[in-house]
Amino acid sequence: MLLIECPWCGERAETEFSYGGEAGITRPADPGALSDAEWADYLFNRSNTRGAHRELWNHAQGCRRWFGVERDTVTYRISGSFRLSGASDNREA
């Protein structure tokens, strides 16, 4: 079992969290201008990095906030967690 450190609640078991996918994916500024192939690429294709990787996680059974985790996809070692830019300390964030 992974131990994941929520930036707000501290270290908890992975069973309290929901995985949200690869971090750093930017939504296209004008989705309507994309072809079907470009839109499908944005929606479905990810880098599938071997080694160091940044991910999104949600503390579903805790504070319910989204945050980022840096994890090695080979060893599963978590090297750190971080608040997403714009995330505040209030519960509405």
Helix segments in 2-79, DSSP class H: 36-44
Q: Are 56 and 66 in contact (CB under 8 A)?
A: yes
Which of these, 84, 86, 35, lies nearest to 58 by C-alpha position?
A: 84
Instruction: Report pTM.
Output: 0.82
Q: How far is CA 28 from the centre of its chain?
A: 18
- Report pLDDT for 86: 66
The per-residue pLDDT for range 14-54, each reduced to its tens digit, is: 999 999 999 999 999 999 999 999 999 999 999 988 999 99
Measured in Å, how far apart are the chain's first and last C-alpha atoms?
28
- Using alpha carbons, list the distances in angstroms from residue 83 to 9, 19, 40, 53, 69: 12, 15, 28, 16, 9
- Report pLDDT for 92: 41
Delineate the domains of the chain, giving CATH numbers in brackets: 1-23+45-88 (3.30.2270.10)
Token pair listed for 65: 């906030």
